[in-house]
């Protein structure tokens, strides 16, 4: 008989435990470092190589956009309050709407690809045509639906004081207010925010500790890269549907450096507002992971070990979650209607499942831990409205698991990289009247 605690570990995983402990060690290490600096204060920020610290004037912002007229102005406005407007660059990847017109009206640098070449292809072309590697020390890759929060650069840029750090992952939060979302859209947004909170604080925070650095992704929604490592990264290998997994794998497998992360470098992104768009985006992300894993052979390093643990857990937990509804029905239906136990198939299935699991194991090993996760996130974010959807998050986890498994066989197919953004909802009026260069955060 499978005990409930073992079921909880199998479904919710050991990664949270392992990297959560590492995250606690990072907190202790950071506290000790601050205490030493307090006793012997340094004269200010300094770079270990003797170069001046990275400033916002050293940062190029690169926004790939494909038919993003609903959100492009809001994103440009938000980033132009933090960096000089001349540092903002937009590459329209075959857009057929007003994306180019609106971006040009905002007074930023704008180019267009000759056709829809995919996000990775657009980034590669823009980095070359804007000559970003020569002109800037750092480039921010920013999705067109993402609005960077005011403290982002103040928190993120000091991480580059360590010369070993070549990329900084932003801390993502979902944008749902003012979007006119229906019940399904809000459910998706809260589900994603729950995932973001748990993975960033219990996984990425530990994975990006300087003493133990091995995260599987620097998300492409709002990330920073040193420009001098970009020539060593294959930005657009053929056959991949997305670029951010591949760029992260390249950093570690080519030993280009480490990845930094701080929860204080926040940017808000729009998650899909419909279940259809959500499924499409999840499949694209899952396919991108499997394709990248297939592209990069394992190597004897910490990154491969951490990735292997993640993938094994992803497969096992996904299979168990997909089987969860059928297992629950096999256990509960014959108990509610005992006459069904005499039915040939139903009775046999019930007997087989009941010999390994009990309803109590499912309750305390799956349902209760999932509800507790929701409560923890609601308290941490001070958002009691999460509790309104608490009973539905597990159903979306089952859907996520099914999508991840369904995408796995497609990893052996080649993708063109051509993309289509989910349906967007405008947050700001689509105009850009303030063309004053705003700089120096």
Q: What is the pLDDT along the chain (441 residues), one digit of tens a residue?
A: 788 778 787 777 789 999 999 999 999 999 988 888 777 665 556 554 567 899 999 999 999 999 999 999 999 999 999 999 999 999 999 999 999 999 999 999 999 998 889 999 999 999 999 999 999 999 999 999 999 999 999 999 999 999 999 999 999 999 877 667 889 999 999 999 999 999 999 999 999 999 999 999 999 999 999 999 999 999 999 999 999 999 999 999 999 999 999 999 999 999 998 999 999 999 999 999 999 999 999 999 999 999 999 999 999 999 999 999 999 999 998 888 888 777 888 888 888 898 889 999 999 999 999 999 999 999 999 999 999 999 999 999 999 999 999 999 999 988 877 766 666 666 544 456 544 333 333
Q: Quick one: which of 87, 75, 245 has its CA closest to 167?
A: 245
Show the tokens assigned to 283.
């499949």
Contact between residue 340 and residue 346 where contact means Cβ atoms under 8 Å apart:
yes
Measured distance CA(260)–CA(153) in Å, rounded: 13
Contact between residue 320 and residue 402 where contact means Cβ atoms under 8 Å apart:
no
Task: Please return the burial class of 70, using the count of CB atoms within 10 Å of its CB with bins 0-12, 13-18 and 19+.
Answer: buried
Strand-strand pairing, 147-148 and 208-209: unpaired
Measured distance CA(96)–CA(167) in Å, rounded: 32
What is the 8-class DSSP label of residue 363? Answer: I
Contact between residue 249 and residue 292 where contact means Cβ atoms under 8 Å apart:
yes
Distances 161 to 54, 84, 205, 350, 416 between C-alpha atoms, Å: 8, 21, 18, 60, 37
Helix (H/G/I), strand (E/B), else coil: 401: helix
CA end-to-end span of the chain, whole Å?
A: 59
Measured distance CA(340)–CA(420) in Å, rounded: 48
Sign of torsion over alpha carbons 150, 168, 271, 431? positive
What pLDDT shows up at residue 439? 37
φ and ψ at 175, to 5 degrees? -105, 115
Measured distance CA(132)–CA(138) in Å, rounded: 9
Report the residue count for the chain: 441
Measured distance CA(203)–CA(294) in Å, rounded: 23
What is the Cβ-side half-sphere exposure of residue 258, based on CA atoms within 13 angstroms? 18
What pLDDT shows up at residue 438? 36
Helix (H/G/I), strand (E/B), else coil: 267: strand
Contact between residue 100 and residue 64 where contact means Cβ atoms under 8 Å apart:
no
Contact between residue 115 and residue 201 where contact means Cβ atoms under 8 Å apart:
no
- CATH ID of 54-300, from 3.90.550.10, 3.20.20.70, 3.40.50.150, 3.40.50.1010: 3.90.550.10
What pLDDT shows up at residue 436? 38
What pLDDT shows up at residue 440? 36
Give bridge partners of residue 427 from the DSSP assignment: none
- Per-domain boundaries in the chain: 4-12+309-412, 54-300
Contact between residue 205 and residue 177 where contact means Cβ atoms under 8 Å apart:
no
What pLDDT shows up at residue 4? 77
| Residue keyed to tokens 């990072």 | 26
Contact between residue 292 and residue 233 where contact means Cβ atoms under 8 Å apart:
no
Measured distance CA(278)–CA(281) in Å, rounded: 5
What is the 8-class DSSP label of residue 58? Answer: G
What is the Cβ-side half-sphere exposure of residue 70, based on CA atoms within 13 angstroms? 11
What number of other Cβ atoms are within 10 A of residue 437's Cβ? 13
What pLDDT shows up at residue 441? 36
């Amino acid at each position: 008989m499978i005990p409930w605690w073992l079921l909880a570990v199998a479904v919710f995983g050991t990664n949270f435990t392992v990297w959560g402990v590492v995250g606690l060690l990072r907190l202790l290490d950071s506290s000790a470092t601050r205490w030493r600096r307090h006793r012997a204060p340094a004269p200010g920020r300094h770079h270990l190589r003797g170069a001046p610290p990275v400033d916002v004037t050293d940062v190029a912002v690169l926004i790939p956009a494909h038919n993003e007229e609903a959100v492009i102005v809001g994103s440009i406005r938000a980033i132009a309050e933090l960096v000089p407007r001349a540092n903002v660059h937009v590459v329209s990847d075959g857009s057929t709407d007003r994306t180019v017109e609106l971006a040009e009206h905002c007074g930023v640098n704008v180019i267009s690809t000759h056709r829809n070449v995919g996000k990775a292809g657009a980034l590669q072309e823009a980095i070359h045509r804007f000559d970003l590697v020569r002109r800037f020390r750092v480039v921010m890759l920013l999705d067109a639906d993402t609005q960077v929060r005011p403290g982002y650069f103040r928190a993120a840029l000091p991480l580059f004081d360590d010369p070993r750090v070549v990329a900084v992952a932003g801390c993502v939060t979902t944008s749902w207010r003012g979007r006119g979302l229906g019940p399904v859209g809000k459910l998706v947004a809260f589900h994603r925010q729950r995932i973001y909170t748990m993975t960033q604080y219990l996984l990425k925070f530990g994975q990006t500790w300087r003493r133990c650095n091995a995260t599987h992704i620097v998300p492409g929604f709002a990330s920073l890269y040193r420009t001098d490592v970009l020539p060593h990264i294959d930005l657009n290998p053929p056959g991949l549907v997305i670029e951010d997994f591949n760029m992260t794998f390249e950093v570690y497998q080519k030993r280009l450096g480490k990845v930094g992360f701080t929860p204080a470098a926040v940017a808000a992104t729009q998650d899909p507002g419909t279940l259809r768009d959500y499924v499409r985006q999840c499949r694209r992300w899952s396919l991108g992971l499997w394709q990248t894993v297939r592209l990069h052979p394992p190597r004897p390093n910490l990154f491969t070990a951490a990735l292997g643990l993640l993938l094994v857990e992803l497969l096992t937990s996904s299979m168990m979650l997909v089987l969860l509804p059928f297992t629950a029905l096999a256990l509960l239906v014959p108990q509610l209607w005992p006459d069904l136990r005499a039915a040939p198939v139903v009775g046999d299935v019930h007997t087989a499942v009941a010999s390994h699991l009990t309803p109590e194991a499912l309750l305390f090993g799956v349902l209760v831990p999932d509800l507790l996760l929701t409560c923890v996130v609601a308290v941490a974010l001070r958002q009691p409205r999460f509790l309104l959807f608490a009973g539905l998050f597990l159903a979306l986890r089952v859907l996520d698991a099914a999508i991840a498994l369904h995408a796995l066989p497609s990893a052996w197919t080649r993708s063109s990289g051509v993309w289509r953004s989910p349906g967007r909802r405008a947050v700001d009026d689509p105009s850009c009247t303030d063309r004053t260069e705003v700089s120096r955060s």
